[in-house]
Amino acid sequence: MNFKLANALGRIVELKDRSTGAHTWRVTMYAQAMAEADRMPISEIMGFMLGAVLHDLGKIDVPGDILSKPAGLTPDEYRTMQCHPINGWARLRRLDVEDPFILNVVRSHHERMDGSGYPDGLHGKDIPIEARWFAVIDAFDAMTGQRPYRQGTGKDGAARAIADLEAHAGTWYEPRAVEVFKGLHDAGRLDSILDHLNDPDGLSTPNFTLSEEVIDMARDALLKSSLENADHQNIEAIIELAQQNEAKS
């Protein structure tokens, strides 16, 4: 998996899931900050960041009306939503991705230390460490990021989110990851990511366009990674949306 293809796929997912604005890009930048703070080896930083870019790839297979519901999913809708880590992981496997950092972040970013997470209900250290670390980032952004039904929560919201992470350290989250993330927060290292990429306009108007080359690359990868005999309507619809954005630019 190279950055160019990961970027293409990440942007396509972002186009489909407009409810989270620039979520993918914020979590990728948080991932970089955490990896640096923990002095992760460069080879692992790459996988960790690519995992961040691709973590919600499986949302490509979740119907748009479920993705955009702010709350109140039915049990069936919730089950569909909960398939996205496995769907994303399976797509990457079909694309011959082998890097465990990427695969583990994608598959296990919703696991919790006490076993109450999904999709595998893993406990504690059975959850790959990169997924335990990424879970902290993903949760922080879920609590602080811009949503259609909520403004970005600013500095106060960030402080509340850090307190929430600390309250669940050891039960949901890896304590050391919470500690490192809190250290970055307290040192002001997260401020630019919080401010700069949390613009309300990002929800309604795509602030990026995709070149024909990127769109083709994403389409090829999505078709190649679909299940055999899959209905490709969903893929074609999202590619069409990307092409419309390109035409407008």
Residue 174 in the binding site for Fe ion (CB under 5 A): no
Q: Are 153 and 160 in contact (CB under 8 A)?
A: yes
Residue among 14, 17, 56, 141 that touches Fe ion (CB under 5 A): 56
Residue 84 corresponds to which amino acid?
H
Query: Least Å distance between CB 74 and Fe ion?
Result: 19
Nearer to Fe ion, 28 or 215 (CB): 28
Contact range with Fe ion by CB under 5 A, out of 52-60, 128-136, 142-150, 208-216: 52-60
Nearer to Fe ion, 56 or 61 (CB): 56
Residue 141 in the binding site for Fe ion (CB under 5 A): no
Q: How far apart are the first and last CA of the chain?
A: 28
Contact range with Fe ion by CB under 5 A, out of 48-56, 120-128, 144-152, 190-198: 48-56
Q: Which residue is nearest to Fe ion (CB)?
A: 56
Query: Residue 84's Cα: distance from chain center in Å?
Result: 11
Handedness of CA 14, 83, 94, 98 (dihedral sign): positive
Query: Least Å distance between CB 167 and Fe ion?
Result: 21
Contact range with Fe ion by CB under 5 A, out of 54-62, 116-124, 161-169, 196-204: 54-62
Nearer to Fe ion, 165 or 215 (CB): 165
| Interacting residues of 41 by C-beta distance below 8 A, sequence separation 6+ | none
What ranges in the chain are assigned the alpha helix state H? Answer: 3-16, 23-37, 42-54, 64-67, 75-82, 84-94, 100-108, 129-144, 154-167, 175-186, 191-196, 201-204, 212-224, 233-248
Query: Least Å distance between CB 102 and Fe ion?
Result: 14
Contact range with Fe ion by CB under 5 A, out of 49-57, 64-72, 118-126, 184-192: 49-57
Query: Least Å distance between CB 155 and Fe ion?
Result: 25
Residue 111 in the binding site for Fe ion (CB under 5 A): no
Residue 130 in the binding site for Fe ion (CB under 5 A): no
Contact range with Fe ion by CB under 5 A, out of 19-27, 53-61, 150-158, 210-218: 53-61
What separation in angstroms does the CA of 88 have from each of 32, 37, 208? 21, 28, 23
List residues bridging with 142 in a β-sheet: none
Largest CA distance in the chain: 51
Residues forming contacts to Fe ion in the complex (CB under 5 A) are 56
